[in-house]
Chain A
Amino acid sequence: MILGRSESRHQATTLIGRLFATTSGKVGAIVTLIVLLVAIFADVLAPYDPLSPIGPSLSPPTREHLMGTDALGRDLLSGVIHGARTSMVIALSVGAVAMVIGVLVGGISGYAGGRLDDILMRFTEIVQVLPRFFLAILAVAFFGPGLLTLILVLGLTSWVILARVIRAEVLSLRAREFVDSALTQGARGSRVLFREILPNAIPVGIIYLALLLAFIILIEASLGFLGLGDPNAISWGFLAGQAQQFLRVAWWLSVFPGLAITATVLGLNLLGDGLTDALGRR
C-alpha cells in the first residue's frame, strides 16, 4: 500500500532492487526472510524442546522463559519458533500447488481462448464459491487432522485468484503489439508463450502469491485455534487456542503466538504491496 512510495525507482533495474526501493517492500521482504530463517533453523534457535515441561506452570515472561510458559510448564518461545515451521510448510506447499494450477489454468485459458477458455472459467467460478475454511473443517472431520489433508484441501481450492490474474495478464499481453511482432517474425506458439507472454505475466502472479500465502497462514491459524490442525505439529493457532481457557490468568499465552501470526501476515502483505509498486502495477 502506501507505506512510502518508491524513492529511487529510476535507478534500480532489477526487480529486487526496485522492491527494496519501496519501504513496504523492504520491510515486507525482511520480515518474510526472518520468518523463513526461523522456520528453517527452528531446531537450532529454540532454547528448549517445545513439547516437554521444563519450567514452572503458567510462568509469565522471565529471563529464562522470554515468552513465559504454559499450564504444563512448556516454554512458549520454543513453541512459537517451531510454530513458524508449521505455518511456513503449509503456506509454501499450498502456494506451490496453487501456483502450478493457477499458471496452468490461467495460461491455457488466456492463450487458447474460445470454448476451452469458457469451460475453464466456468470451472474456476465453481471452485471460487467453495468456502475454503468450511471445506477444510469438513475434510478434517472426514479424513482426520493432518498436514497433507490441509495442504491438499487448501491448495486445490486456492488457485482461483492466481488463475484469474494470470489469465487477465495473458489476455492483455496477447493483444500487445510485441506479440504480433514476434508472430510476424515467424515465431512458434511455444516461443511466443514462453518468451513473450509468460515472463510478463508471472510477476503479477507473484504479487498475488504473496497475498495468498498471508491468507493461508490466517486460515491455518484459525483451524489450529479450533484444535483442527495437525496434532503432531505445533502451530501458532494451536498455541493461541490453548490460551483461551487461561485467558484470565495468562495473557502471554495468547499475546505472543498472535503477534507472531500478525507480524508474518503483515510482512507478506507488505511484500505484496512492495512487489506491486516495484512492478509499476498501481
Chain B
Amino acid sequence: MTQSVLSVKGLRVSFPTPDGRARAVQDVGFDLGRGETLGIVGESGSGKTVTALSIMGLVPRPGEIEAGSIELNGENLRRLGERRLRQVRGSEIGMIFQEPMTSLHPTLRVGFQIAEAIRAHDGVISREEVRARVESLLDRVGIPDARTRADEYPHTWSGGMLQRAMIAMAVANDPDVLIADEPTTALDVTIQAQVLEVLREMRTETGAALIIISHDLGVIAEMSDRIAVMYGGRIVETGTLEEVFSRPLHPYTAGLMASIPSLEGPVGSLPSIPGRPPDIAQLPSGCSFHPRCQLAQEVCASSVPDLGSRDGHGAACFFSDSVERPVQSSANVLVAQRERIPTPPLLEVDDLRVHYKERRRLFDRRARVARAVDGISLTVAEGETLGLVGESGCGKTTTARAILRLVEPTSGHVRFEGRDLCHTEGSDLRRLRRDIQAVFQDPFGSLNPRLTVRKIVASPLEIQGEMNRAEIRERVRDLLELVSLGQELEDRYPAALSGGQRQRVGIARALALEPAMLVLDEPLSALDVSIQAQILNLLRDLQDRLGLSYLLIAHDLAAVRHLANRVAVMYLGKIVESGFRDEVYSHPAHPYTKALLSAVPVPRPGARSDQIVLRGDLPEIGDRSVGCRFASRCYRAEARCLEAEPELQGEPHAFACFFPLAETVS
C-alpha cells in the first residue's frame, strides 16, 4: 500500500438529544492511499455522511467531533485554525453532495459559483484566467457549450448537469481527496451512469483519492478499490472490494448482500435482515447489530467487538468465522407456473392518454400541452404482476393515477373485469374502486398524521359502510396480523412508526376491502435497503396467499425483476417494450431497455464489461414529436427514426423500434 493521503483515527461525533448525547459516529478509522478509492456503504443513520462532513470540518451544529484525529498529508485537520481549514476545503479536499438540485445557489450563475471556488484559493488570478478555467472545467465534465451555459442559472439545468457542475467545482483546485456523498442517489439510472463515468474520469485526471459514500452496493462495487461497511455509527467491516464481496466476515454485510434484489441469479424471496437499522439516539448495547443478528450470543450484547485489522480484511464481529452468506431461495418454479398465459385479463388499459394543458399564467391562450401519457395499452391478468418501469418523467406514475381515476384520462379506456372505470361516476365509481386499491410511494405522506393506525386501516371499511364497529375492529386486527404488525401499534400515530412499519400499514389499508388488484406505486423506493427486502417478500407472500394481481410501478429494475411476471418499459409517455420478465431482461429488443439494464450498477466486483452510457438528458415531454421519442439519445438511431414513429409490435414480446437488437428478434 502506498503512503496514505488521508488517515482517520478514532473519530467520534455526537449530537445532543433530549436523552443525552447521541453518538452518530464512533471509533471510525481508515487510511486512504494516494489515488485510491474507498467506498463507504451503509443505510440511513449509519453515520456515513457525518463521517464525510467531519473530514471537511462541516459537522452541522449542534453536532460536535468529540475525539479522534483526521490527518491529511500528515497534518491533523482537527488542530487547524478556521483559516487554514478553509484553505483545505475546496482546495485539498473537494466534496460532492447528494442533491444537485439544491446544492447550488439558485440566484447565482453556475459559472460564477465555480469561479468562487477557484478565487477562494487563488487571490491573484485574473478575471480572464478564472473564466477560462471555469469554461475548461465545465468542458471537462461534459457540459456542452460551456461558454454560454456558464452564464445560466441553476434552475435551467437538469439534475445530471448540475451534478457535473458540482464535480467541476470539487476538482477546480486539483484536490488530493474527493469526497462524493451519495452523488447519484437523486438521479435517474441512465444519468447515474453518466455521472459515475465523469467521476471516474476526473479521478483519473486529477489523481485524487476518492471516498464514495452510498447505500447502493452496486455503485460501491463499481467504483471502489476498498470498502468500509458502516452500521450504527461504526465501521463493521473493511477490506478490499474482492475480499468483502467474496467472503463477508460480518453478518450484516452478508445479510445486506443477500437481501439486495439483483439483475442476475435466481428470482425468489430474498433473505432479509429482520428488524430495522437502529436509531442513533438509542443504540443497542454491545454490538449494535446484535438484536438483528442470528449469530448473536450473550457476549454480543455486553461488549463491542473490535474491527481488528485496519489495512487488511476485518470485521467487528465475535463470530466472523461462522458468517455465511445467505442464499436466495429459488421460487422460480412457482413463478414459472404463473407465467403461462392465464385467464382473461382483470385489468385492460386501452390507448390511455393523459395530456396536461400547462397554463403558465392567467389568460394564457397558447397553453403548452404536456403529453404525460400518450397512448398506453396494457393488461394485467388474475394473480399476475405487471411491472411498469421507466425513469422519472416517463409517465408511469401518471398512468397509475389515471387507472385509479386520481387524474382524468384525456382519452382511452380502463376496463376492470369488463367494466369501464373511465366512464363510471358517483356511487357506482365508489363501489367499483374497492376492487383496485393502491399502495403509495411515500409511506409518510400516504398516512393521515392525525389518525391512529387503527383508524387509518379502518377508514376504507367505514367509507364503504358494510360493517359494524365490532366487525371493523376485528377486521383491522386481522389485517395488521396479515402484514405482520403487532397489535400494540394500533393506537400509534404514523409519526411514531418506522418507514417499513408505515408501508405495512399502507398495505394493510389497501387490503381492507379485499381488492382483486393492487396498484403499487414505487412501494420500495423510500425505504432503507434492508427494509426493502422485507416489504418485497411481504408483497410476494400476500400475492401467493390472496391471489392478488399487482400493477407495480417502479424505477428499480432489479426490484421489479423479483416481483413481476411481465414487464413494460416506458419512455416519455409510451411503452417502448413489453414482454415476459426473463425475455425482456435477458434479451432486450429496444435499445433503451438495453441501455437501462446496462446502466444499473451490479453489486459484484468486476461485473461491468460493456456498459452503454446514454448521452444527453431525458427530454421534457413535448407538445408533439415526429419520429421515435428515443431517437435523440439512441446509439442506433438512423435517419428513419427521426421521420416516423415505430409502433409497438409483437406478441408476447413487443417492442417499438425499427432497428431492434438483432439477437432478440424471434
The interface of chain A, by Cβ under 8 A from chain B, is: 7-10, 13, 118, 176-178, 180-188, 191, 196, 199-200
Q: Interface stretch among B232-240, B264-272, B316-324, B447-455?
A: B447-455
Query: Of residues B404, B430, B459, B493, which shows the largest number of chain A Cβ atoms within 10 Å of its Cβ?
Result: B459
Residues of B within 8 A of A178 (CB): 445-448
Contact check, B437 vs A184: say whether CB atoms are below 8 A apart: yes
Contact check, A185 vs B18: say whether CB atoms are below 8 A apart: no
- Among B362, B406, B449, B464, which residue has its beta carbon within 8 angstroms of that of A183? B406
A126 to chain B, nearest CB (A): 15
A187 vs B436: C-alpha distance when bound (angstroms): 14
Given known pairs A178-B445, A200-B449, A200-B450, the reply for A10 and B18 (CB within 8 Å) is yes
B83 contacts A by Cβ under 8 Å? no
3 smallest CB-CB distances across A and B, nearest first, come from: A186-B430, A177-B446, A185-B460
Contact check, B18 vs A177: say whether CB atoms are below 8 A apart: no
Contact check, A185 vs B445: say whether CB atoms are below 8 A apart: no
Determine the residue in chain B with the shortest Cβ distance to A6: B18
Contact check, B404 vs A180: say whether CB atoms are below 8 A apart: yes
Determine the residue in chain B with the shortest Cβ distance to A178: B448
17 more contacts with CB within 8 A, not counting A118-B362, A185-B513, A186-B460, are A9-B18, A177-B442, A177-B446, A178-B445, A180-B401, A181-B446, A182-B459, A184-B404, A184-B406, A184-B438, A185-B437, A185-B459, A185-B464, A186-B429, A186-B433, A187-B459, A200-B448
A183 vs B460: C-alpha distance when bound (angstroms): 10
- Supply 30 A–B pairs (Cβ within 8 Å), ascending by A: A8-B18, A176-B445, A176-B446, A177-B440, A177-B446, A178-B445, A178-B447, A178-B448, A180-B440, A181-B446, A181-B506, A182-B459, A182-B463, A183-B405, A184-B433, A184-B438, A185-B433, A185-B460, A185-B463, A185-B509, A185-B513, A186-B430, A186-B460, A186-B463, A186-B464, A187-B463, A188-B430, A191-B463, A199-B450, A200-B450
B434 contacts A by Cβ under 8 Å? yes
- Among B436, B447, B449, B450, which residue has its beta carbon within 8 angstroms of that of A184? B436
B61 contacts A by Cβ under 8 Å? no
B253 contacts A by Cβ under 8 Å? no
Determine the residue in chain B with the shortest Cβ distance to A173: B448
- Among A9, A181, A188, which residue has its beta carbon within 8 angstroms of that of B438? A181
Query: Of residues B18, B448, B459, B460, which shows the largest number of chain A Cβ atoms within 10 Å of its Cβ?
Result: B448
Determine the residue in chain A with the shortest Cβ distance to B493: A13
A200 vs B448: C-alpha distance when bound (angstroms): 8
Encoded as 1 (CB less than 8 Å from any A CB) or 0, chain B from 361 to 373 comes to 0100000000000
The interface of chain B, by Cβ under 8 A from chain A, is: 18, 362, 401, 404-406, 429-431, 433-434, 436-438, 440-442, 445-450, 459-460, 463-464, 493, 506, 509, 512-513
Contact check, B434 vs A186: say whether CB atoms are below 8 A apart: yes
A9 vs B19: C-alpha distance when bound (angstroms): 12
A185 to chain B, nearest CB (A): 4
Determine the residue in chain B with the shortest Cβ distance to A199: B450
Query: Of residues A9, A176, A181, which shows the largest number of chain B Cβ atoms within 10 Å of its Cβ?
Result: A181
A254 vs B465: C-alpha distance when bound (angstroms): 64
A92 to chain B, nearest CB (A): 26
A13 to chain B, nearest CB (A): 7
Residues of B within 8 A of A118 (CB): 362
Query: Of residues A180, A188, A196, A199, which shows the largest number of chain B Cβ atoms within 10 Å of its Cβ?
Result: A180
- Among A8, A177, A182, A200, which residue has its beta carbon within 8 angstroms of that of B441? A177
Residues of A within 8 A of B509 (CB): 181, 185
Contact check, B440 vs A185: say whether CB atoms are below 8 A apart: no
Determine the residue in chain A with the shortest Cβ distance to B19: A10
A188 vs B463: C-alpha distance when bound (angstroms): 8
B517 to chain A, nearest CB (A): 11
Contact check, B18 vs A7: say whether CB atoms are below 8 A apart: yes
B98 to chain A, nearest CB (A): 23
Contact check, A180 vs B449: say whether CB atoms are below 8 A apart: no
Determine the residue in chain B with the shortest Cβ distance to A5: B18
Residues of B within 8 A of A199 (CB): 450
Contact check, A186 vs B406: say whether CB atoms are below 8 A apart: no
Query: Of residues A10, A182, A186, which shows the largest number of chain B Cβ atoms within 10 Å of its Cβ?
Result: A186
A185 vs B433: C-alpha distance when bound (angstroms): 6
A14 to chain B, nearest CB (A): 11
Determine the residue in chain B with the shortest Cβ distance to A10: B18
Given known pairs A185-B434, A185-B437, the reply for A177 and B464 (CB within 8 Å) is no
Residues of A within 8 A of B445 (CB): 176-178
Determine the residue in chain A with the shortest Cβ distance to B509: A181
A252 vs B436: C-alpha distance when bound (angstroms): 73
Determine the residue in chain B with the shortest Cβ distance to A9: B18
- Among B431, B442, B448, which residue has its beta carbon within 8 angstroms of that of A196? B448
A196 vs B445: C-alpha distance when bound (angstroms): 12
Determine the residue in chain A with the shortest Cβ distance to B492: A13
A143 vs B442: C-alpha distance when bound (angstroms): 56
B147 to chain A, nearest CB (A): 40
Determine the residue in chain A with the shortest Cβ distance to B429: A186
Residues of B within 8 A of A188 (CB): 430
A184 vs B404: C-alpha distance when bound (angstroms): 7
Residues of A within 8 A of B448 (CB): 178, 196, 200
Given known pairs A118-B362, A186-B434, the reply for A180 and B406 (CB within 8 Å) is yes
A91 vs B615: C-alpha distance when bound (angstroms): 63
Residues of A within 8 A of B362 (CB): 118
Query: Of residues B404, B445, B493, B513, which shows the largest number of chain A Cβ atoms within 10 Å of its Cβ?
Result: B445
A115 to chain B, nearest CB (A): 10
A140 vs B51: C-alpha distance when bound (angstroms): 65
Residues of A within 8 A of B464 (CB): 185-186
A200 vs B447: C-alpha distance when bound (angstroms): 12
Contact check, A181 vs B433: say whether CB atoms are below 8 A apart: no
A177 vs B493: C-alpha distance when bound (angstroms): 16
B518 to chain A, nearest CB (A): 10
Determine the residue in chain B with the shortest Cβ distance to A186: B430
Residues of B within 8 A of A191 (CB): 463
Contact check, B430 vs A181: say whether CB atoms are below 8 A apart: no
A199 to chain B, nearest CB (A): 5
A7 vs B440: C-alpha distance when bound (angstroms): 34
Determine the residue in chain A with the shortest Cβ distance to B515: A184
Query: Of residues A118, A177, A183, A188, which shows the largest number of chain B Cβ atoms within 10 Å of its Cβ?
Result: A177
A181 vs B433: C-alpha distance when bound (angstroms): 11
Residues of B within 8 A of A186 (CB): 429-431, 433-434, 460, 463-464
Residues of A within 8 A of B450 (CB): 199-200
A8 vs B506: C-alpha distance when bound (angstroms): 29
Determine the residue in chain B with the shortest Cβ distance to A185: B460
Residues of A within 8 A of B401 (CB): 180
Residues of B within 8 A of A177 (CB): 440-442, 445-446
A177 vs B397: C-alpha distance when bound (angstroms): 12
Residues of A within 8 A of B449 (CB): 200
Residues of B within 8 A of A13 (CB): 493
A13 vs B450: C-alpha distance when bound (angstroms): 11
Determine the residue in chain A with the shortest Cβ distance to B436: A184
A199 vs B459: C-alpha distance when bound (angstroms): 15
Residues of A within 8 A of B406 (CB): 180, 183-184
A7 vs B17: C-alpha distance when bound (angstroms): 9
Determine the residue in chain A with the shortest Cβ distance to B443: A177
B307 to chain A, nearest CB (A): 33
A191 to chain B, nearest CB (A): 7
A181 vs B437: C-alpha distance when bound (angstroms): 8
Determine the residue in chain B with the shortest Cβ distance to A180: B406
Residues of B within 8 A of A8 (CB): 18
Query: Of residues A7, A178, A180, which shows the largest number of chain B Cβ atoms within 10 Å of its Cβ?
Result: A178
A248 vs B464: C-alpha distance when bound (angstroms): 75
A179 to chain B, nearest CB (A): 8
Residues of B within 8 A of A196 (CB): 448
Residues of B within 8 A of A180 (CB): 401, 404, 406, 438, 440, 446
A186 vs B436: C-alpha distance when bound (angstroms): 10
Residues of A within 8 A of B433 (CB): 184-186
Residues of A within 8 A of B438 (CB): 180-181, 184
A212 vs B440: C-alpha distance when bound (angstroms): 38
Determine the residue in chain A with the shortest Cβ distance to B449: A200
Determine the residue in chain B with the shortest Cβ distance to A122: B362
